[in-house]
Amino acid sequence: MSDPGFACCTPLTGSAMSSEQAEELAALLKALADPVRLRMVSLIASSEAGEACVCDLNEAFDLTQATISHHLKVLHSAGILDREKRGVWVYYAVRPAALSAVANVFSSPALAGASA
Amino acid sequence: MSDPGFACCTPLTGSAMSSEQAEELAALLKALADPVRLRMVSLIASSEAGEACVCDLNEAFDLTQATISHHLKVLHSAGILDREKRGVWVYYAVRPAALSAVANVFSSPALAGASA
DNA sequence: GGATCGTAATGACATCCGTCGATGTGATGA
DNA sequence: TCATCACATCGACGGATGTCATTACGATCC
């Protein structure tokens, strides 16, 4: 198609990121790409015990309890939050590995190209 | 309402992340939370010159040129890609600051809680 | 100047996502 | 046992998003 006989620009190294890896990372980012969920993770992570129960989050946001629960489920399903039921209350805690995985991807020289 | 008379769990430190900051970061993450766009950024960043023209990306993905252009526009609008027209072709280059900003947020102790 | 190529913009469509109200469920306490 | 509390789930609605076909624009070449 069009076959100009020469490359229009420098060739890409090709390795880059596999489709599979991109889908995985995209799922993780999609779970984080929401202001409410971002603040949820931030709140939980910055809490003293590193965890928070749903009742606190319910008061921290101007949203319905159903919506809060929905967002927590999204974050839990993505592997970003751990869920633990203690007595009547349910506590959520951030899984540091998930967040550091994101940090690693975007601080890698292949993507950031800063240190190169 | 309900006034239980005692906190059901440990209090949150409160500072965490502002709504404004959360919206900004969410916009950035939303632009990245797509497998195609993730691979685009990866391809561009891992190219020899750190940039790529649309024609290359057109061949790298099994998508319409219009869709490719759309994704590039999203990434450019989010401040992730720089756009430069040289002759007939348009070159896109990653803006390292945008990616390192994401890396910084998710490697900060307030969010990752790893070093605490 | 006209034809052709590379890219962007537009409009349409299907699907996904955030939010809500209502309901369900399990544990606690009177 | 029954009422209440904490949380999850369901169904629905409006808006955002990914994709395409088509059109428009600017640069290059003959």
Which nucleotide shows the minimum CA-to-C1' distance to residue B71?
D18
- Asked if pLDDT for residue A59 goes beyond 70, the answer is yes
User: Which domains, and CATH codes, for chain A?
Assistant: 30-99 (1.10.10.10)
pLDDT interval class at B112 (50, 70, 90): very low
**What does the longest C-alpha to C-alpha distance in chain A come to?**
71
Q: What are phi and psi of B7, to 5 degrees?
A: -70, 135
CA–CA distance, A77 with A15 (Å, rounded to integer): 29
The pLDDT value given to residue B13: 45
Which positions of chain C lie under 7 Å from any protein Cβ?
5-11, 17-23, 26-28
Q: Which residue has the higher pLDDT, A60 or A5?
A: A60
- Ramachandran area for residue A40 (φ above 0: left; ψ -120 to 50: alpha; else beta): alpha
SS3 state of residue A103? helix
What is the spatial distance, in angstroms and rounded to an integer, between the CA atom of A59 and the C1' atom of D4?
A: 20
Instruction: State the Cα–Cα distance between residues A76 and B33, nearest whole angstrom.
Output: 17
The reported pLDDT for the residue numbered A107 is: 81
